[in-house]
Amino acid sequence: MHPDLAKLMELQGVEGEIKRLNAEIASLPKHLQAIETKLNSAKDRVEKAKAAIKADELAKRKYESEIQGQHEKIRKFREQSSSVKTNEQYKALMHEISFAEQEIRNLEDKILECMEDAENKERQLKSAEADFKAESAEIEKEKTQARAITEKDEKRLTELRQTETGLRSGIGDDSLRQYDRIAKHRGTGLAEARDQRCLGCQIMLRPQVFAEVRKGERAIACDSCSRLLYYVPSDAPDPTLRSNVGVERTWMFLPQMGDRGVFAVFVNAKGNAYMRTFDVETGRFLEKHSEKGATYMQAFAQQMEHGRELFVDEAGLEDSKEQLPGEALQDLRRQLPRTQDQASTTAGE
């Protein structure tokens, strides 16, 4: 692998971790604020319970004061009754006394309601105070953990920034500029190439490009997303190099062949490589080329270099030696570049 690519891979990992830690540190104040809000909510429940109990006590005192006032009225009415001259005046005083006694009974009922309500509020207060105490302890624990995470992250950030500076100083200026430019727009400057696909944008790579990426002799950019590509060898054999196991094939449009280009299928089978071409208008078989003891990427690299990879349902194509089935032909033609498809249609007319 090209030394710049290896260092850029490490740099991208370091910078990704720096971004993650920065985001985590930035989120901690909001987390602490949420913790404080939770604690304040518990505290509010306690204060509201206390305020409700106090309101009941004030109401109880008010009713007791009003009862005293009614008792005072009754006393005065009874004193007046001993000095009245007429029966009507006496009845009026008795009526006032009866009314005051009924008012006292109503006020006493209200006092009982206040006392019952106060008992409920006392239970609510005890529950709210217990919740507040428990949440206070839990929240203090969360705060301590948050501060510890922040301290750890900041220490790690200092180390990573030193590593980042060291890596950047060891990478070629051209490679670093290209990496930074792409990362600014794409979020990442590198992408892995696997199974002939760029994992950054999920677009298939031209076989020649994929072959160059696997060699790792120079930095290769994805034609679609412009990310610099790297290849990580695995223990499994590369499917494009398996020439003695089963059959491997790739369909392409080759614009440089013939007047309007051709469809071509490249095949690895039994240790040999084959290229079969078909007319883009009729699907008629044109010619066949073969190379013994090679893969199609080795034998036909020049033809494939300018090709455009196509996708088609392989079912039923194994026996298509002289003519492509109509459905497969239409499937291939739909994938042609628009200008080429228009040109082919015009020529056919």
Same structural domain for residues 286 and 331?
Answer: yes
Same structural domain for residues 54 and 142?
Answer: yes
User: Beta strand pairing status for 285-292 and 272-279?
Assistant: antiparallel
Element (H, E) at 209: helix 207-215
Indicate which CATH number applies to the domain containing 122: 1.10.287.1490
Output the pLDDT for position 163: 93
User: Beta strand pairing status for 220-221 and 247-254?
Assistant: unpaired
Same structural domain for residues 248 and 140?
Answer: no
pLDDT one digit per residue (tens) for the chain, 349 residues: 778 888 898 999 999 999 988 888 888 888 778 877 878 888 888 888 888 888 888 988 998 899 999 999 889 988 888 888 888 888 998 999 899 899 999 999 988 988 888 888 888 888 888 888 887 887 888 888 888 888 899 999 999 999 999 999 998 898 899 999 999 988 899 999 988 889 988 888 888 888 888 888 888 899 989 999 998 876 434 444 333 334 578 888 999 888 889 999 988 888 899 999 999 999 999 999 999 988 888 888 888 887 888 877 665 565 567 888 888 888 888 877 654 554 555 455 4
pLDDT digits (tens, 9 = 90+) for 248-298: 788 889 998 888 899 999 888 888 999 999 999 999 999 999 999 888 888
Output the pLDDT for position 340: 52
Same structural domain for residues 12 and 100?
Answer: yes
The whole-angstrom separation of Cα 188 and Cα 191 is 8
The counts of H helices and E strands in the chain are 8, 9
Among residues 126, 153, 169, which one ends one of the domains? 169
- How many domains is the chain partitioned into structurally? 3
Angle CA(155)–CA(159)–CA(163) in degrees, nearest 5? 165
Among residues 186, 203, 230, which one ends one of the domains? 230
Q: Three-state SS across 42-95? A: HHHHHHHHHHHHHHHHHHHHHHHHHHHHHHHHHHHHHHHHCCCCCHHHHHHHHH
**Model confidence, pTM:** 0.46
CB of 45 within 8 A of CB of 89? no
Q: Which domain holds residue 276?
A: 239-348
pLDDT digits (tens, 9 = 90+) for 80-95: 888 888 888 889 989 9
Same structural domain for residues 247 and 335?
Answer: yes
Output the pLDDT for position 239: 42
Q: Which of 92, 68, 98, 70 is nearest to 80 (CA)?
A: 92
Element (H, E) at 10: helix 3-81
The whole-angstrom separation of Cα 44 and Cα 47 is 5
Same structural domain for residues 271 and 150?
Answer: no
Same structural domain for residues 211 and 145?
Answer: no
CB neighbour burial string for 171-203, b if at least 16 within 10 angstroms, e if fewer:
beeebbebbeebbeebeebbbebeebbbebeee
Q: Could you identify the residue written with the tokens 């190099």?
A: 241
Same structural domain for residues 273 and 130?
Answer: no
Same structural domain for residues 198 and 64?
Answer: no
CB neighbour burial string for 265-302, b if at least 16 within 10 angstroms, e if fewer:
bbbbeeebbbbbbbbbeebeeeeeeeeeeebbbebbee
Task: State phi, psi for 192 to the nearest 5 degrees.
Answer: -80, 140
Same structural domain for residues 108 and 140?
Answer: yes
- In Å, how far from its chain's centre is CA 294? 46
The whole-angstrom separation of Cα 41 and Cα 231 is 54
Output the pLDDT for position 318: 56
The whole-angstrom separation of Cα 179 and Cα 5 is 10
Output the pLDDT for position 237: 41
Output the pLDDT for position 280: 92
Output the pLDDT for position 180: 93
Same structural domain for residues 20 and 36?
Answer: yes
Among residues 124, 154, 169, which one ends one of the domains? 169
Same structural domain for residues 161 and 20?
Answer: yes
